[in-house]
C-alpha cells in the first residue's frame, strides 16, 4: 500500500469517526430538565416505620443516624416477612460485585435456599467493580434490560437519570408516602437514605441500599495513642502533637492511600473538624462550595503541617491498610465500612475512629446509601412482585430473613457460637454475600454488631453518639445536576490532585485559589447553579 492511499484512508476514517458524534448530537439530546425536580409535583418520601424487632443493647437514633448496637446476637429472631414474595418466575438482577464468582445455583446451597425463600428463580448478573461503568454503558445502549438494575456504588454514569426516566418503572404510586407500608421492611429504611437516592423528575424510581450516616473519617491506633498519653478528646494542637509524637523511627502519624486523592476524601475529617460545610453550603439560596470557605482553607493549612506517610500518593489502599495494621502509621483516612473490616484483621491493638478536634466541628455525613435499584418497566403486578423481593432482602437485623440473606443456612454456612452468635463455617468462605451479592439488590439498614467483640460495638456506638448529633449533611445529596452527573468524577479529581500537590509540597498553599478557579471553570460553578435551582424546587 502506498503512502497516498494510506492517507486517503485515514482521512475517510477520521470523517466517519467525527461524523458519528456530530449526527447523534442532532437527535434531540437528553430530556434536559426532565430529570430535575424543579417545578415538578413531588412524590412524598416513603413514610418511615421502624421495625419492632429484638431490642438493641445500645439504642439507635434514626434522627441523628446513630445505629442500634447489639453486643450479642439476638436470641429470639423475629419474622419480618409473612408470605413468600415470589410466584416461581425468573427474576434477573444486575448488580455490582467485589467478590469472586459464585458456584452455579445447582451447587450453591446459599443461592438455592434464598431462591426457595424468595419464591423466585433469581438470576444475578454480577458486574465486577472495575468494569461496572463499561458494562452498564453497554446494557443501557442495548435496551435489553434485566428486571432489576443497580446504580450507584460511587459511580456517576453518563445520563444515568435520563436513562432511568425513559426506560425504568415509576414506583411513586407503589412506595410514595404511606404506600410503602405495604412493604414493611422497605418502610424501615430511614429517610436520609431515600433522600440520598433522590427523586428523578419529582418521582420515586428506586429503592436505596442504606448505609450508615457517617462519611469518610480517620481511623486510628488507640492503643498507641493511649500509650503516649493522648486523650480521646482533643484540640487541633493536641492532635498535631500526637501525630508528630508518633512520627519517627520509620513510623508516621498519618497515612493516606492513592485512592484518597481521587477526590476530597483526605480532607473530610480535617475540614469537618474546622467546621467547614460538607462539600456545599446554601447561602441565600445559592450553593457555595466548601472549598472556597475560610474553614476549609484553615483545615488545608493545618493539614500541610501534618506528618503524612511520604509515599501516600503511590500507596494502594490495600497496602496502606497493611501499614496501619502493622502500626507503621498511627492513623489513616478511610470509609466508615473500614471499621468492620479492621475488627477482623487487627488483634493486637485497639482502634477507633477519631473524634473531631474542635468544639465547633461539623463532621461530614456520607450520602446514606451505597446505591439504589430500579426496575425495568412492567405491569403493576410484576413491579409489586419485585418490590416484595426487595422487601424480603431488606429484612432487618434480628429477623430470620436477615439471617438467611446475610449468613446463610444454619448448619451449612454457620453454627451458633458459645455466646449464641454466628460462627461461620468453611462453606461460608465460598458461599457468602460477597460471592453472591444479593445485598446489592436490597439490604437492611445496618446495625453495629461484631460477633464476639462487644467492646468494638460499644466503642463505635460511643463514637457515633459523640459525633453524629453535630454532623452535617451534604446539601447536594439527592439533588440532580447534569454537570455533576457528567463531570463529577473529573471535578473531584481536580480537588484530589490539588490536595495532593499542596500537602506534598508540589504547590504552595497560596496556589489553592488557582486550583479552585480551575475546578470552577471545569464545571464546579455550573454545578453550583444547577444545585441551587434544584434545591429551590425540593
Partner 1 sequence: MRPAWQGRPTIAVRVAKGVALTVVTLLVVFPLWTVVATSVSSPELVTANGGYVIWPSDLSLDAYTEILGGGIVTKALLVSAGVTILGTALSLVATIGLAYGLARPQLFGGRPILLLVMFTFLFPPSMIPLFLIVRGTGLFDTYSALVLPFLVNVFNLVVMRGFFQSVPTELLEAARIDGAGEFRILLRVVLPLSKAVVAVIGLFYAVAYWNRFFEAIIYFNDQSKWPIGTVLRQYVTQGAQLADSSVSESASANAPQSIQMAVVVLATLPIVCLYPFVQRYFVKGVLTGAVKA
Is the Cβ of residue 179 or residue 257 nearer to partner 1 in the bound state? Answer: 257
Is the Cβ of residue 211 or residue 461 nearer to partner 1 in the bound state? Answer: 211
The 3 state secondary structure assigned to 180-195 is HHHCHHHHCCCHHHHH
Q: Candidates 167-175, 285-293, 431-439, 505-513 — which segment interacts with partner 1 by CB under 8 A?
A: 431-439
Q: From residue 368 to residue 407, what is the string marking binding to partner 1 with x (rule CB under 8 A)?
A: --x-----------------------------------xx
Alpha carbons 256 and 500: distance in angstroms, whole number: 10
Q: If binding is defined by CB under 8 A, does position 350 make contact with partner 1?
A: no
Alpha carbons 400 and 353: distance in angstroms, whole number: 31
Among 99, 177, 191, 417, binds partner 1 (CB under 8 A): 99
Is the Cβ of residue 290 or residue 406 nearer to partner 1 in the bound state? Answer: 406
Spell out a b/e string for 234-256, using b for 16 or more CB atoms within 10 Å of the CB, else e.
bebeebbebbebbbeeeebbbbb
Q: Candidates 193-201, 223-231, 319-327, 456-464 — which segment interacts with partner 1 by CB under 8 A?
A: 319-327
Among 29, 33, 101, 238, binds partner 1 (CB under 8 A): 101
Cα Rg, the chain, nearest whole Å: 24
- Cα 98–Cα 416–Cα 440 angle in degrees, nearest 5: 25
Q: If binding is defined by CB under 8 A, does position 200 make contact with partner 1?
A: no
Is the Cβ of residue 353 or residue 407 nearer to partner 1 in the bound state? Answer: 407
Q: Is 122 left (phi over 0), alpha (psi -120 to 50) or beta?
A: beta
Q: How far is the CB of 455 from partner 1 (least distance, A)?
A: 17
Among 42, 48, 84, 103, binds partner 1 (CB under 8 A): 103
Element containing residue 9 per DSSP (H, E): helix 3-24
Q: If binding is defined by CB under 8 A, does position 17 make contact with partner 1?
A: yes
Among 316, 360, 415, 508, binds partner 1 (CB under 8 A): 316
Is the Cβ of residue 300 or residue 436 nearer to partner 1 in the bound state? Answer: 436
Q: If binding is defined by CB under 8 A, does position 113 make contact with partner 1?
A: no
Among 42, 49, 137, 489, binds partner 1 (CB under 8 A): 137
Spell out a b/e string for 42-75, using b for 16 or more CB atoms within 10 Å of the CB, else e.
ebebbeeeebebbebbbebebeebbbbbbbebbe
Element containing residue 323 per DSSP (H, E): helix 317-325
Alpha carbons 6 and 265: distance in angstroms, whole number: 49
Q: How far is the CB of 328 from partner 1 (least distance, A)?
A: 6
Q: If binding is defined by CB under 8 A, does position 519 make contact with partner 1?
A: no
Q: If binding is defined by CB under 8 A, does position 130 make contact with partner 1?
A: yes
Amino acid at each position: 500500500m502506498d503512502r497516498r492511499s494510506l492517507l486517503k484512508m485515514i482521512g475517510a476514517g477520521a470523517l466517519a469517526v467525527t461524523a458519528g458524534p456530530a449526527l447523534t448530537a442532532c437527535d434531540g439530546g437528553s430530556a434536559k430538565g426532565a430529570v430535575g425536580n424543579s417545578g415538578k409535583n413531588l412524590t412524598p418520601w416513603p413514610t418511615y416505620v421502624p421495625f419492632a424487632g429484638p431490642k438493641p443493647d445500645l439504642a439507635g437514633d434514626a434522627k441523628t443516624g446513630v445505629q442500634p448496637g447489639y453486643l450479642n446476637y439476638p436470641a429470639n429472631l423475629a419474622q419480618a416477612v409473612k408470605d413468600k414474595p415470589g410466584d416461581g418466575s425468573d427474576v434477573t438482577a444486575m448488580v455490582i460485585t467485589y467478590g469472586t464468582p459464585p458456584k452455579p445455583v445447582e451447587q450453591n446451597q446459599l443461592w438455592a435456599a434464598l431462591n426457595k425463600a424468595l419464591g423466585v428463580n433469581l438470576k444475578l448478573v454480577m458486574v465486577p467493580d472495575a468494569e461496572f461503568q463499561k458494562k452498564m454503558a453497554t446494557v443501557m445502549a442495548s435496551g435489553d434490560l434485566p428486571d432489576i438494575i443497580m446504580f450507584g456504588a460511587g459511580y456517576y454514569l453518563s445520563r444515568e437519570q435520563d436513562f432511568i426516566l425513559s426506560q425504568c418503572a415509576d414506583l411513586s404510586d407503589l412506595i410514595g408516602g404511606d404506600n410503602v407500608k405495604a412493604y414493611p421492611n422497605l418502610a424501615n429504611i430511614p429517610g436520609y437514605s431515600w433522600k440520598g437516592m433522590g427523586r428523578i423528575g419529582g418521582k420515586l424510581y428506586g429503592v436505596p441500599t442504606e448505609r450508615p450516616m457517617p462519611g469518610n473519617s480517620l481511623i486510628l491506633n488507640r492503643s498507641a495513642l493511649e500509650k503516649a498519653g493522648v486523650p480521646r478528646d482533643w484540640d487541633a494542637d493536641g492532635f498535631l502533637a500526637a501525630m508528630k509524637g508518633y512520627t519517627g523511627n520509620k513510623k508516621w502519624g498519618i497515612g493516606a492511600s492513592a485512592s484518597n486523592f481521587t477526590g476530597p476524601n483526605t480532607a473530610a475529617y480535617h475540614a469537618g473538624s474546622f467546621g467547614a460545610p460538607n462539600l456545599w453550603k446554601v447561602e441565600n439560596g445559592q450553593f457555595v462550595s466548601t472549598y472556597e470557605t475560610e474553614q476549609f482553607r484553615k483545615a488545608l493549612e493545618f493539614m500541610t503541617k501534618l506528618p503524612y506517610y511520604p509515599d501516600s500518593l503511590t500507596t494502594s489502599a490495600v497496602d496502606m491498610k497493611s501499614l496501619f495494621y502493622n502500626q507503621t502509621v498511627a492513623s489513616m483516612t478511610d470509609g466508615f465500612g473500614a471499621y468492620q473490616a479492621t475488627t477482623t484483621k487487627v488483634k493486637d491493638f485497639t482502634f477507633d475512629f477519631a473524634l473531631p478536634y474542635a468544639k465547633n466541628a461539623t463532621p461530614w455525613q456520607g450520602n446514606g446509601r451505597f446505591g439504589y435499584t430500579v426496575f425495568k418497566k412492567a405491569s403493576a403486578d410484576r413491579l409489586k412482585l419485585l418490590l416484595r423481593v426487595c422487601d424480603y432482602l431488606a429484612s432487618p437485623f434480628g429477623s430470620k430473613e436477615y439471617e438467611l440473606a446475610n449468613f446463610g443456612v444454619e448448619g451449612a454456612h454457620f453454627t451458633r457460637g458459645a455466646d449464641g452468635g454466628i460462627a461461620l463455617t468453611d462453606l461460608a468462605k465460598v458461599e457468602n454475600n460477597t460471592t453472591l451479592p444479593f445485598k446489592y439488590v436490597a439490604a437492611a439498614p445496618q446495625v453495629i454488631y461484631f460477633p464476639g467483640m462487644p467492646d468494638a460495638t460499644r466503642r463505635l456506638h460511643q463514637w457515633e453518639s459523640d459525633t453524629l448529633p453535630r454532623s452535617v449533611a451534604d446539601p447536594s445529596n439527592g439533588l440532580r445536576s447534569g454537570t455533576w452527573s457528567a463531570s463529577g468524577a473529573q471535578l473531584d479529581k481536580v480537588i484530589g490532585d490539588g490536595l495532593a500537590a499542596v500537602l506534598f509540597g508540589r504547590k504552595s498553599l497560596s496556589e489553592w485559589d488557582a486550583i479552585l478557579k480551575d475546578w470552577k471553570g471545569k464545571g464546579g460553578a455550573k454545578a453550583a447553579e444547577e444545585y441551587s435551582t434544584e434545591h429551590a424546587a425540593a
